[in-house]
Amino acid sequence: MRLGPGQPWMPLGAEEHYSVQPPGFVWAGTAHAGPVAVARARDMYAEGHGRMLVKVASLWSVADASGAQTDQAAMMRYLSEMIWFPAAFLAGNISFEAVDDSSARVTLTDHGRTATATLVFDQQGRLTDFVGKRYRTADASDPEAWSTPVTGYGEYEGLRLPACGKAIYELPGGDLEYIDVTITGLHYDTGAAEPEPRTR
């Protein structure tokens, strides 16, 4: 992960827990400089609201974002990451609209709000990209074009699912690729339908 254009890439280990009904997630990540943990972050979406908290050396808060823009960003993140628990796309709060032969528009409704994006597929029917609009910061005036292209597939819990991907903002000064993800493990709780993908 990196924080912005021209910034260095940092190794990041993370664990994320999802809920399908109601929609939600809690992501906890730790950034390292060599063997040293230099920052910890928690991103979450629950009851229609998002919050991002970042601490340096687990002590000093350097970011604590909430509000309408953070809510939208967290909701859009949740929608994009439903690819790791695809049965959630069958829920009553999800709707689809065909765009063309290789893409469809998907909408998530939760707590009176909606998040909409376009799913792009290849000729084999595999998801290759997720494209939408997402706020980059809690004080942004407008959402930016945002995509999460899939770069590799793997098998988890008997399902063929995206295993590698990126996250990219299309900014006025050029594209900002700021996340490069590899899923190292995923588990479904069959009682609560909550997978636990691990990323690095």
Q: What is the average per-residue pLDDT within 54-63?
A: 76
Q: Are 80 and 165 in contact (CB under 8 A)?
A: no
Whether the predicted pLDDT of 5 surpasses 90: no
Whether the predicted pLDDT of 123 surpasses 70: yes
Q: Which residue has the tokens 């636990």?
A: 196
What is the DSSP secondary-structure string of 100-127? ETTEEEEEEEETTEEEEEEEEE-TTS-E
Q: What is the pLDDT of residue 38?
A: 83
Which pLDDT band holds residue 198 (cuts at 50, 70, 90)?
Answer: low
For residues 165 and 176, give the distance between their C-alpha atoms in angstroms, rounded to a whole number: 14
φ/ψ of 73, rounded to 5, equals -65, -40
Q: What is the pLDDT of residue 10?
A: 87
Q: What is the average per-residue pLDDT within 4-29?
A: 93
DSSP letter for 142, please. S
Tell me, what amino acid is at 134? R
Q: What is the pLDDT of residue 197?
A: 55
Q: What is the pLDDT of residue 200?
A: 52
